[in-house]
Amino acid sequence: MVALLVLATFVVFITVDVLLHREKYKFRVAETETPQAKDGPLPVVAGVTLPEALAYHPGHAWALDAGNGRIRIGLDEFAASLLGSIEKVEVPQRGRWFRQGEKGWSVITPQGEATMLAPAEGEIVAVNDKALADPAVITKDPYGAGWLLEIFSPDTQVSFRNLLTGALAKRWMEQSMMELRQALAPMATMTALDGGRISPQLGTELPQEKWREVTRHFFRS
């Protein structure tokens, strides 16, 4: 009898939670593209594409307010280029809660493993299994088909308040590219950092120790 009462109480709690947080439990099939990625050519800042609809963490991850408390996240083109050839991405399981600025995921490449920080706080409710199965997509399309996770946040404004957007994001990317040129000098001639677009496989061109140094610096890990 006691066991039945405990079970009934548990069911009531679950039912109430679902009713109060319906959006959290609405596990729709995720789109393969972020909404902003369908609007035509993306703006380029200092040789790196930087979609204006996104907000950016200083550790080179992006966040998109998908509505209803959901935030889609991924890594920016600067990070994808610096990582180079991605072999595997290890992400937390659905249901995991992480805080903004703590370890979000790990990226394994021939050069080594890099840790990236979560750009927003919340509970993981969706994982891009297609991108994880084919990591090359992350490098080719980091803002679209290469997104990584979606989280549910009870207060999205808190997370976005600490991210970079607009003119601040542009200045930050310009500063990042300037620091990268300085860090790679005199190797810059072999890395397509001469004022044009950043090399999509920049990380593969770097010595292992230099790769580790710059990824730790720019990913703030």
Domain spans, the chain: 2-218
pLDDT at 115: 98
* Residue 33 confidence (pLDDT): 53
pLDDT tens-digit profile of 109-131?
A: 999 999 999 999 999 999 999 99
Residues 6 or more apart whose CB falls under 8 angstroms from that of 184 comprise 191, 193, 206, 210, 214
What separation in angstroms does the CA of 122 have from each of 73, 137, 141? 11, 25, 24
Q: Are 72 and 34 a contacting pair, CB within 8 Å? A: yes
Q: Are strands 61-67 and 70-75 parallel, antiparallel or unpaired?
A: antiparallel
Residue spans of the chain under pLDDT 70: 1-40, 188-195
Q: Which amino acid is at 200?
A: P
- Angle between helical axes of 166-184 and 208-218 (0-180°, round to 10): 160
The whole-number pLDDT of residue 194 equals: 59
- Rounded-to-integer distance, Cα 38 and Cα 199, Å: 23
Q: Give the three-class secondary structure for 38.
A: helix
Class of the CATH-defined domain 2-218:
mainly beta
